[in-house]
Amino acid sequence: MATDQEAVIEPDLPIADPHHHLWFVPEPVRAGLDPAVSPYFHVRRRTPRYLFDELLADLTCGHNVTHTVFIECGSMYRREDPPQMRSVGEIEFVNGVAAMAASGLFGPIKACAGIVGNVNLALGDAAGPVLEAHLQAGGGRYRGVRHSTQHDPDPAFAGVGGANPPRQLLDPTFQAGFKWLARFGLSFDAFVFEPQLPDVAELAGRFPDTQIVLNHTGTPLGFGGYAGRRAERFPLWRESMRALAEHPNVTVKLGGLGMPVCGFDSFLADPPAASAQLAAEWRPYIETSIELFGARRCMFESNFPTESGTANYRVLWNAFKRLAAGASEDEKADLFGDVARRVYRLTN
């Protein structure tokens, strides 16, 4: 059976998808993408447009998605504003999409019921006014910030943020900006690569009153200089996750393993991998995360459309449901919706 025709597993199970994007990549930008530089070349070429129509088509593919959370991706920035304020445009855009979904004209799904934006926390105290502008533009839906801090000295990662400053989470100026999150009651989505997980743990210890959401299962790497080293790196990832789990203010998004930097065989597989194969590939990371953090601190995420290079939306959630097959009904409720609703305060 073709994977796009897979029957939906447990179609009535409510899902709150806590991590997706919306973007539009104009043709001149697509033409300028270099597959030798950016591992995401194939994703952006295959899915250059992912706006409300494309999102809605995925959300109505057969799984029972009730709410979603938008996560920043550098889309629709204001061209004419000062650099630190340009990301307000993304929040205005997404809040408009959320208003479309909330109208009920497109069905009952509350798309973008929570919004996580990008604020440059390295501005230090100057991040405060930017956060205020985001909150205002969010129309009551703004829930937190993701300032992507992934870094690796391997030149292969330059096209995926690897050239970001090293150890930025521990920089005093960054942390001066980070302090504003607790003042506004906002969470922090942490996007780092696996070797950086100890920095997330140290940050969580310094700011115990700020909810930190670790993206993409901690992003285990299988790309560049990490290719072929999965058996070697897995124990290091596991021990870092164990240390991170000691901080009760940290939750984990289970997903992101279909990204090219993770280096699984299923990325761009032809024919596409079925959900059973995805579950088999990802099981060690998903099951270990749930074991360490518990179901009440874990939530499955689609990371769409970034994951579209590995699976379509239906197959992706089937893989997650296979991975959770042995969980209790209460645990499934947490993993597929309740943790996301609680962390991102999805009350409507």
Across the chain, mean pLDDT equals 95
**Does pLDDT of 270 surpass 70?**
yes
Is residue 7 one of the residues assigned to a domain?
no
In a domain, 85, yes or no: yes
Residues 6+ apart with CB under 8 A from 51: 22, 23, 24, 97
In this prediction, residue 3 has a pLDDT band, given cuts at 50, 70 and 90, of low
- In this prediction, residues 35-42 reach a mean pLDDT of 71
Cα(159)–Cα(202) distance, integer angstroms = 27
Domain CATH for 117: 3.20.20.140
Is residue 5 in a domain? Answer: no
Who's near 236: CB < 8 A, 6+ residues apart?
194, 195
This model's pTM is above 0.85:
yes
- 73 DSSP 8-state letter: -
Distances (CA, A) of 101 to 50, 71, 167: 15, 17, 39
**Residue 232 predicted with pLDDT over 50:** yes
Residue 1 lies in a domain: no
| Region of poorest pLDDT, from 33-42, 111-120, 243-252 | 33-42
Domain span at 244: 13-343
DSSP string, 274-336: PHHHHHHHHHHHHHHHHHHH-GGGEEE---BTGGGGT--HHHHHHHHHHHTTTS-HHHHHIII
Which of 291, 293, 348 is closest to 323 using CA atoms? 291
Average pLDDT over residues 283-296: 98
Predicted local confidence at residue 37, as pLDDT: 67
**DSSP 8-state assignment for residue 188:** E
45 vs 266: CA distance, rounded Å: 18
* Domain assignment present for 6: no
Q: Does some domain include residue 124?
A: yes
Domain tally, the chain: 1
